[in-house]
Structure formats: C-alpha cells, structure tokens
Amino acid sequence: MKNFKISIVLFILLNVFNLNTSAQDNIMYNMRRLPQFHKDNVARQPDCKLYIGIPGISSAFVSAHHSGFTFKDVIVPDPIHTDSFMIDLDGIEAAMSEKNYLSTTAEFDILSFGFRLPNSYYFSFGISNKTNMNFQYPRSIVEIRNGNYREDGTPLDFTFGYDVTNYMETSFGLSKEFFNNMSVGMRVKLLSGMANVDARNIGVQWYTDLDYYDYTFKTDMLIRAATIESFPSVSNLSITSDSALTDYLDRMINVVDSSMTERANALSESRIGDAGLGQILLGRNFGLGFDFGYEYQINKYFNVSASINDIGFIKWKANTLQAQQNGEFKFTGLDAAEYISNYYEAENADVSLLSEALTDLTDSLTSYSATAIFSNDAYKTRLTSKLYAGATFSPVKWFDLGLLYRGTLYNKSLFSATTLSANTHFMRGWGFSMSYTIMDGLYNNIGAGLVTKFGPLQFYIMSDNIAPFYWAANDSPRAEEWIRNTKRITFHTGLNFTICGSKKDIPLLE
C-alpha cells in the first residue's frame, strides 16, 4: 500500500513537470540561508557573497492548486448503505465559489548566479523557462441540477476560461543596503514569449423568462493564441455561415495540434540551437517585467519587508490568431396543439409524429444567430502579479518567527494566503523551516524546508504542503483525512555552488 501511495505522489509530480509550468512558494520567503530567497523580494541580500546555480538543476519548482472543492467534499459515506460511499453534490456546491480555478505552475532555472559588489550592492542574474496554466469553471455547472429558473431573472452563468503561457525570462537584479538596516532593490526582466492560448472568456448566459419560461442563450467568446506554427492568414474575417465557421475552426485546431507537437519534439530533442539563442531569449514576442522590493531592520529583533513582483506584459506578434464570437438564441418551445388536437390523436400517436416534432425542434436550434470575427492582429497579455508583505521576530540570532501575506492578482481577482513560519539558521549555508499557511479557507497547509551545505555545494528541498508526502509514508486515519482535504501541492528542489566565507569553502576563492 505504501509503495502504491508513493507511486501516486510521483505520478502527480511528474505530470506537473511535464506541463512545464511558474510561481514561487511561500515558505522560501524567510529561508535566509538559501540564495534563491531573493526571488521573492529583490531587496533582500543572501548571506553568501557568491552563488552559482548548477545549470539545469539549480531550481525546479512545481505546484498544483484547486480553489474549489476537495476530495472530502466529493465522496461521503452513504447514509443508507453504511458500507458504501456516494457523491455529495450539495457538498461540492457549498465548497465552490462563483468562479473556481484549477492551476498548475512550475519554474525551471537554466542559469542563475549572484554576488556581492562594493558599497553594499548585490547583483543577480537568471535565465529561466516559465509557464502558467489556469482553468476557470463556474458553480452553475452544479447548480443546474436544481433547475434553470431564478426568481430574480438573473441568468445562469456558464463562463469558462483557459489560458496557458510559456516564455523565457532573462532577469537582472540589483539591491543596495543603506545605513546597515535598510535595503531596496529592483529587477528587470526581458521576456520572450514562446506560446500562448488566452481564452479567459468563453461565456454562455442562460436566461429564463419569468412569465412564459422562454429560454434565451447569449454567447460571448474571445480566444487569442500565438504558437510556433503559423495560423491561416486572415484579415478581420467575418463568418456568419455555420459550415464556413466549422471548416475554419477545423483548420485552426489542426494548426494548434501540430504546433504543440512540434514544440514538444523541439524541447525533447533540445533543438534550441536551430532557432538561435538570441531568438529564444529575445524573440519576436517581446515582453518586459519588473520586480520591486524593500526591507527594513527596525532593531535587532524585528524586521519588515515588502515586494511586488511580475509587473509587466508580453506582446504577441508572431503566428497569432484572434477569434471573437457573439451570438444569441431564443427557444420558445414547441406548441403541442400543432401536433395533437384531441385525446384520440394523442392516444394513437406514432413514431412519425414524434419524428416531426423532433425535426421542428432541430430546425429551431439551427436558428442560432452569431458572428465570428477572425484576425491575425498582435495582442498583449499581462503577467500574473504578486504582492508580498512580511515581518520577522528574531529572539536569538539563529532563529526567527515569520509572518507573510501573499496576494496574487489574476483575471481581476485577488487570491490571498497568510503564512506563519519558524526558521532556523544554525550554520552558514544551512537552514530548516516549518510553515503553516491559511489559503482558500483551509487551515491544514503545513510546510517544511531544508537547506544543507557540504563544502561549496548547497542542496535544498521544500514544500508548502507536505500532506502528499506524509500520506505516502503513513497509513494512519490522520494521513487519509489530511490528503482528502488538500487543495494545493508544491515541491521545490535545487543545487547551488556557493561561497559564503567559511573555511570549508574553496580556499583559493576566499
């Protein structure tokens, strides 16, 4: 059983890696012995005067997050058959918001380093590949089981969204310490968009007339994409014919499929050289981003800090396609009197009468009025901005307690998380942290992180929620309850080459 659980955890982590997706974890913010902690706040200067991320393995971060229901909300004991379970639709609906999100993120550093400069400056540089993937779905997909009628006349909102962005990031960071107790920093990010699908608004509104119960469906959709392969060339093409729209969408889907296959083959064969390093890092889909940070040491016990990351955009110009569609359909039902005028006809109705009614119903459905507009115009997407605000209390030099707020701005919504942490810094280059995060209304996110150093090599591993790993190693009811009520899984590991000033480091570089 334990091997089976370990296999499940590894399967989840490997599949998130395959998505090649980007974010940072909360526990790392106060792990001062780890050079990468400055990624969350560019003003903070690592203890080691030099670090070099081992190329390709210096930082690998993955996470999966669901803002809606948990497994515990879905499967409950059957109240009648005590040895069975059932799907609890009421529990699922109660746990959902109007908008719910499923996200997978990851970040892979290709090259990174940082070092101290004279006059209390610290410089950092990094090249990484990032992808963000988000899927949005509405609570109405569960509410519909109770019917479509609403007394206030508001519609059932079936608005879905999906977006995925893959890009290369080249960053330059610089921080400066003032008066031995305050530091500020800024990071500039040059972005090169590789591929994007932005379909954050795929909406269908279902209205029900309060008097006659007629149905009105209104659609509003905007899909934008940029891929490796070129889309069919269009210039503000307007399509109103159903058959013409179907033919064009088939061509577009084939292009997207071949583009994703080509991208996967290119990555698996490491064909970066075919496009040229310059085109990979600063391609035709150029973007720009900024990070800003601040840190202030109030006294020897208290420290406060704040940062805002990923303020920026990517402009997609190469191999783009935009599709916008608006439409409306009204269904008033079928008049039974047109098919059956008396009891005798109803009693002797045959298949032909049913076939006639179904034909009329089908004809009414094809009366859908919509216009689709296609273009190859350029467009912009914004980065997912993050806000950090933290404070620490250090009763002794080697230990501190941390409080962190993290806000993530996505699709005009703010997602918040609050983290409490206990952090030890018992040796230079070493550290251990435990964290407790409140997020999505759950209070069971317990994290742990470890940083070790042997000579100049530093290894680290951490997670904001160790529930999957605890569950894989234990068969207790507590472990089962924990994993059933989990909404977020993270995993972060890497290897650095560091020079911290210790005699155990390489003497020639001291």
**pLDDT tens digits for range 36-69:** 999 999 999 998 889 999 888 889 888 888 888 8
> What is the average pLDDT across 487-499?
89
pLDDT, position 123: 97
pLDDT, position 309: 96
Q: In terms of Cα–Cα distance, which of 53, 65, 76, 71 is closest to 21?
A: 65
Amino acid identity of 218? Answer: K
Q: Is 268 exposed, middle or buried (0-12, 13-18, 19+ CB in 10 A)?
A: exposed
Q: 321-352: string of b/e by CB count within 10 Å (b at 16+)?
A: bbbbbebebeeeeeeeeeeeeeeeeeeeeeee
pLDDT, position 23: 46
pLDDT, position 45: 92
pLDDT, position 14: 41
| The most confident of 269-273, 297-301, 332-336, 346-350, by mean pLDDT | 297-301
**pLDDT tens digits for range 408-463:** 888 888 888 999 999 998 777 788 999 998 887 777 788 899 999 888 899 999 99
pLDDT, position 187: 98
Q: Which two tokens stand for residue 80?
A: 């009648």
Q: What is the domain extent for residue 103? A: 2-509
| Neighbour tally for 443: CB within 10 Å | 10
Q: How far is 488 from 206, CA to CA, in rounded Å?
A: 32
Q: How many alpha carbons fall within 13 Å on the CB side of residue 380?
A: 8
> What is the average pLDDT across 112-138?
92
Contact in structure between 315 and 286 (CB atoms under 8 Å):
yes
pLDDT, position 472: 60
Contact in structure between 129 and 111 (CB atoms under 8 Å):
no
| The most confident of 248-262, 350-364, 433-447, by mean pLDDT | 433-447
- Give the residue, 398 or 271, on which the prediction is more confident: 398
The residue ranges of DSSP E strands in 320-412, in sequence order, are 320-331, 369-375, 379-382, 385-396, 399-410
Q: Is the pLDDT of residue 251 over 70?
A: no
> What is the average pLDDT across 289-310?
96
Q: How far is 394 from 54, CA to CA, in rounded Å?
A: 31
pLDDT, position 283: 67
> Terminus-to-terminus CA distance in the chain, angstroms?
51
Enter the pTM of the model: 0.78
Q: How far is 374 from 362, CA to CA, in rounded Å?
A: 28
Tally of domains within the chain: 1
The residue ranges of DSSP E strands in 139-254, in sequence order, are 156-178, 182-208, 215-226, 237-239
pLDDT, position 5: 44
**pLDDT tens digits for range 364-397:** 655 556 677 788 889 999 999 999 999 999 999 8
CATH of the domain at 397: 2.40.160
**pLDDT tens digits for range 215-238:** 888 888 888 988 876 666 666 555
Range scoring the smallest mean pLDDT among 75-84, 87-96, 309-318: 75-84
When the pLDDT of each residue in the chain is averaged and rounded to a whole number, the result is: 78
**DSSP-based three-state secondary structure for 49:** coil
| Chain mean position to CA 213 | 40
Q: How far is 390 from 306, CA to CA, in rounded Å?
A: 6
Residue percentage of the chain with pLDDT more than 70: 71
